[in-house]
Amino acid sequence: MSYIVSIVGCPNVGKSTLFNRLIGRRKAIVHVTSGVTRDRIYGTTEWNGMKFSVVDTGGFTISTDKDMIEYEIKNQIFLAIEESDIVLFLVDIKIGISNTEIEISQILREKYKKIIILVVNKVDNNNIYYNSNTDFFRLGFDKYYYISAINGSGTGELLDKITEIFQKYNNKYDSGIKNINGGINKEKYLPIFSVIGRPNVGKSTLINSFLNKKNHHIVTNIPGTTRDSLDVVYKQCILVDTPGVRKKSKIRKNIEFYSSIRTVKTIEYADICLLMIDASRGWENQDMNLFRLVEKNHKGIIIVINKWDLFDKNDHLQKNLENLIRNKISPFDNVPILFISAKNKNGIHNIIPTAYDVLKSSKNRLKTNILNKIMLPILKNNPPPSIRKNKLIKIKYCTQLPSRTPKFIFFSNFPQYIKESYKRFVENKIRYYFDFKGVPIQIFFRKK
């Protein structure tokens, strides 16, 4: 059973701060600039023995112009409300009640048959509490809770109320409430597949195409629309949409800097990374930087060339681009490269099965006798360059370490003199004879 609590309100009232407080880690970007959160951001928490999901949303505004992003943010808020069991309507005690909040309260009470809890935030000390003369009952709710999301005061009482509601109506909800995990047992580990890449390569479009939803994640032709890392559950895995990563010299706003940090953190906890490339721009330096970052973190990787529909299935061009990429990433060149159109859904059905293949390869463990039987004759016939005529470098034994990611130790009489180029040669041979498709491997030379 999984319940959902969403947090809604005007910009800059502390929704992301409360979200981070409830889930116990800094997942949502918190910044003094309003409107930082755009998509819905999911997290999970546990209180009084009860687990539930928390959803952060963008700030609700009354906009007179036809701002596409503002329009999409509102759609995301409404979607969050629809899938929620409890809605926390957050207001700022320092600002009081605005016309927008009156409008939000009317929408919540009249349009949605949900349990609404009014939460008054930024009550950071008793002086603010006693000096406030705002009548929050004007918003039409019987009760409200004072909290300070930034220091946590009052959040325990709020969480008590949330779990009390879930416990009281447990039997009722068991028969009809949606489960964001699609009925999957949450105790079972789900692999995490992160979609990474430059801005505007189609990451959010791909997620929406997987889910058959046009509006699950905000998609516009404006680069940098996604600012947080966003998780969704799909076919026994967790898909993570990430902000686009620019070159450091191109990052002009500190919000964009924090978004880039989110992507780096997402790579660290991912199992497999789907590196998306814009076919119209080809393989660029920033793609190479992201590839090496994934490799450095020892994560499985798939390269996904998006917008291939623009090239009318040009097989010759496809082969040339694939060869170019493999030459650039050598010796880690047995990476799956898929050509797709996220918008038209062409080729996307191959992505998840390929990700599972890479995940399987990452868990490949070779028997020591088989590894030595194949590798030692190769290394004997192609030894490392000698130090001197009377000092030949010999490799006598090799084994795979019992580690989370594939690591190999080769024992030698003079390991300190083995050069990086020879290490690449050894890696090429391991990749040629054994199945480590899309998986970085580490090779160490040690004294026998």
Tens of pLDDT, residue by residue over 408-441, are 999 999 898 899 999 999 999 999 999 899 999 9
pLDDT recorded at residue 130: 61
pLDDT recorded at residue 186: 38
pLDDT recorded at residue 275: 93
Pair (347, 207) in one structural domain: yes
Pair (307, 440) in one structural domain: no
DSSP count for the chain of H helices, then E strands: 13, 15
Token digits of residue 249: 């010299």
**What are the backbone dihedrals phi and psi of residue 388, each rounded to the nearest 5 degrees, phi first?**
-140, 175
Pair (204, 285) in one structural domain: yes
Pair (226, 305) in one structural domain: yes
Beta bridge partners of 271: none
Pair (9, 137) in one structural domain: yes
- 67, 283, 321, 440 from 280: Cα distances, Å: 27, 9, 11, 28
Which three-class secondary structure state does DSSP give residue 21?
Answer: helix
d(CA 136, CA 396): 78
Beta bridge partners of 338: 304
Structural domain including 372 reads 368-447
Token digits of residue 364: 């490949």
Q: How far apart are the first and last CA of the chain?
A: 55
The closest alpha carbon to 287, from 226, 317, 329, belongs to 329
d(CA 255, CA 4): 28
Q: What is the DSSP string of 223-245?
A: TT---S-EEEEETTEEEEE----
Pair (115, 137) in one structural domain: yes
DSSP one-letter code for 60: P
* Amino acid occupying residue 70: E
What's the total number of domains in the chain? 3
Whether residue 181 is contained in a domain is answered as no
Helix (H) or strand (E) holding 258: helix 254-269
d(CA 378, CA 139): 77
Token digits of residue 345: 């859904």
Whether residue 183 is contained in a domain is answered as no
- What CATH number has the domain bearing residue 432? 3.30.300.20
- Show the low-confidence residues of the chain (pLDDT under 70): 1-2, 25-40, 42, 62-76, 129-133, 169-189, 213-231, 243-265, 313, 388-390
pLDDT recorded at residue 70: 59
Whether residue 151 is contained in a domain is answered as yes
- 13, 131, 217, 264, 436 from 335: Cα distances, Å: 45, 63, 28, 20, 9
Pair (357, 382) in one structural domain: no
d(CA 154, CA 118): 13
Tens of pLDDT, residue by residue over 98-107, are 888 888 888 8
Pair (357, 221) in one structural domain: yes
Whether residue 438 is contained in a domain is answered as yes
The closest alpha carbon to 417, from 381, 448, 375, 446, belongs to 446
**What are the backbone dihedrals phi and psi of residue 422, each rounded to the nearest 5 degrees, phi first?**
-70, -35
